Structure formats: C-alpha cells, structure tokens
Amino acid sequence: MLVFVGGGLLYYVNWVVQKPFAVILFVADNVNVSTLTAARMYGGGADSRLSIERFPVLSLLTSHAGDFAVSDPASSSTAIGSGRKVNNRNLGQDSSGAPLVNLADVARERGRAVGVVTNASVTDAGAAAYYAKTSDPHDSAGIALQLIKSPAFDLLLGGGSSDFIPEHKGGGRSDGRDLTLELRQSGFDVVRTKAELLNTPQWRAPKLIGLFAEGNLAFADEISRSAVQPSLAEMVGQAIQLLQFNRKGYLLIVDAGLIGKAGSQNEGERMLREFLQLDNAVATALAYAGKNSLIVVAGRSSIGGLRLNGYPFRNDKGVAVVGVNAQGLPSLTWSSGPGSGSEGEESLTEPAAVASPVALGVAEDALAVAVGPGSEKLNGFSDNTEIFKLISTGL
C-alpha cells in the first residue's frame, strides 16, 4: 500500500502538476512603493503603467536581517537566494559561517540550466549570492576566486573584469592569476563586448561568461559607454535564447544592481532611469520566455530613502518631475547620503537630510510581483525568505 501511494504521489508531482519550463527571478534594491511611484511618473506621468505593474500577484516583503532591523545587500540577497535570515555582511552562508544551499544549487540538482545576469559587477552581492560564501562581501578578488573553484552556472553576464585579470595585464588581481584564462581552460567562452554576446551561437548549450566592464556596467545615461555594452534587457533576451535549449528548463536570476549603485550616491534621476531599465528587462522576459514561465520581481534592500515631493501636474514626466518643483523646492530628496543638491552642471545628486559618505539603508518593506504557474502562492504580507520557497517549488 505504501509503495502504491508513493508511486501515485510521484506520478502526480511529476506528470499532473507541470513545472514551469522557465523560472526567472529579478532582484534589485529600492523596489518599493516610493521608487515605483516616482519611476512611473518620471517615465510617463501619473496615469502610466510600468510592465511590473501589470503582474497579477503582489506582495509586500519584510526584509530585516538576522541581527539588524535594516538589512544590507549581502544579507538580503542571501535571504532571497537561500531562504534563510543571516546577519548583515554574510553572503551565501549563515551567521556561523556554514554554507547555505541556494536557488542555483537547487536548479542544477533538478537538471535545469542556470544563468545569472547583472548590470553591476558579477562579484557584487546580487550575483555572488548564488555562488560565493563569505563574511566579507567587499572582498571582490576572493569572491572571483570562489567562482573559478566551483562554477554553479551555465551562463554569467555582467561587469567586474578587473577582479579576474592580474595587475600586469591591466586588472586588479595582486596574485598574478588570470582567471579569464582559467575559465577558458575549463571550457567557458569568455566574451567582452555586446557584439560578441549577440553573436554567440544559439544552437548549442551555453557555457558562457560575459565581462563587459572593469567594474559596473554603464548607467543608461552614459551613452559613450552604454553604446558598446549590452543593456540589461539585451542580456536578459540573449540569456533566455541560450538557456532555453536545456530540455528540463532553466533558472535565470537577474540582478538590476545599478539601481542601488545610483541610490547609494543620491543620484535620483539616474536611479529612476535604471528602474525603467529594470522594467524594460522585465518586459523582455515576458516577451521571450513564453506563457509556461514563472517570473518574479522582488525588492532586496532599500537604500537612501528617496522621496518625490511637491505637486507636479498629472501629465508631467521626465525632467518635469525632477529638479526644482513649483514650490521652489527640490522635487527629489533623500533621507541620507552624500547629496549636495548643488546646481553645478556636473552634479547628479539631490539633498539628503543626513550627510553620510554613502546613503544608508532604510526600514521599508519591499515589493514583490509574480506571474505564471505557482505565482498565486505569493500574496499579501510576507517575508523575503518566501521568495526562495516559491522559486524552489517551481524548479
């Protein structure tokens, strides 16, 4: 009887309950109500709607760390990626230093292809949470070495080439090792430009590393650099086309890291542009991945405390809702950070109430939206660790 029941359960799980072929998780700092509202108005006015806002499932996530009420990017990335609360500064491991199983591990165990895409450095917390274990999330050279020792992916795209190249070749590694050469020797193709990425053959399973900048990729408004680097949406589209040849499906993790980078420096308009870049990448995933896909967009940490102030007109958008408002006050302000609010041509910052070298984290629930098979399990008030449970169930 037990064998019969067990066999029936396996049949039901594997054949009756169909898993989504594609599972795509977007993660970014400052995916919260304040930034969403400002980005919507900046992009198209008060009546416009972003692609993210068309998702049928919505939840608010608590995002505290294991020790502090406000998490840093390392602990929040780990909570989402591994389903465990850890202390701040812990990346991919618990607060005692024990390594944690993450979504990339689960996906590979179940035969899926795994891709990680970021427009920041691949050694930053947003991407590294899926392959590195450390209590020093700023040790980018050491994190790059962990990637070499145990690659847990089929595709990895982003910036951070300096962490892989020795100093005598123009990189930042002091140990003399050329990790890009070691990656090639282990069978990976290493691409360095948008053209090389877009020309990658799509007729075979990928084993691909893309390193498109020494550090972070270009912001959307840095036209001279962004013209030769792939956008977040371009990387997502290419990743989907390369990963979809795995017959058991794939997991794609997308870190829109430049949102947090702009926020940490009080660059409000730049941050809103990067939020719209995230939204474009989400729209690309919806178009490329197909209907049998689970797509989740989740907020990580909140940084800086952006607010859009004053009374812009309903149809105002773009520069009409930034700068100085009708009351003669700054339209965008921050709770903390290096912002000067000066009117110099080179200044991208807005005023901050509390001066600090970089913007501090703020206590604010994150937004999560989802669509596709199993997405209905995410609803109401929840915690960021529930993202791991939702995604791992769909793998």
The pLDDT profile of the chain, 395 residues, written as one tens digit per residue, is: 555 545 544 444 444 457 999 999 999 999 999 999 999 999 999 999 999 999 999 999 999 999 999 999 999 999 999 999 999 999 999 989 999 999 999 999 999 999 999 999 999 999 999 999 999 999 999 999 999 987 789 999 999 999 999 999 999 999 999 999 999 999 999 999 999 999 998 877 789 999 999 999 999 999 777 778 999 999 999 999 999 999 999 999 999 999 999 999 999 999 999 999 999 999 999 999 998 999 999 999 999 999 999 999 999 999 999 988 888 888 999 999 998 765 444 568 999 999 999 999 999 999 999 999 999 999 999 999 999 999 999 99
Helix (H, G, I), strand (E, B) or coil at 116: strand
Tell me the C-alpha distance between 109 and 104, whole Å: 9
**Can you give the pLDDT at residue 12?**
44
List own/partner pairs for 104-110 with CB under 8 A and 24 or more apart.
104/130, 104/131, 104/152, 104/153, 104/251, 104/253, 105/152, 106/392, 106/395, 107/23, 107/250, 107/251, 107/395, 108/152, 110/248, 110/395
244-266: burial string, b at 16+ Cβ within 10 Å, e else: bebeebbbbbbbbbbbbbbbbbb
- Amino acid letter for position 17: V
Residue 58 backbone dihedrals phi, psi, to 5 degrees: -135, 140
For tokens 């941050």, name the residue: 271
Tell me the C-alpha distance between 153 and 60, whole Å: 30
Which CATH homologous superfamily contains domain 18-368+386-394? Alkaline Phosphatase, subunit A (3.40.720.10)
Exposure on the CB side of residue 59, measured as CA atoms within 13 A: 25
Q: Quick one: tokens of 384?
A: 């960021």
Q: Quick one: tokens of 198?
A: 């877009």
Pairing verdict, β 352-355 and 250-255: unpaired
Tell me the C-alpha distance between 218 and 302, whole Å: 22
- Amino acid letter for position 264: S
Helices marked H in the chain: 2-11, 33-44, 73-82, 103-109, 125-128, 140-149, 179-185, 194-198, 223-226, 232-243, 258-264, 268-289, 385-394
- Amino acid letter for position 346: E
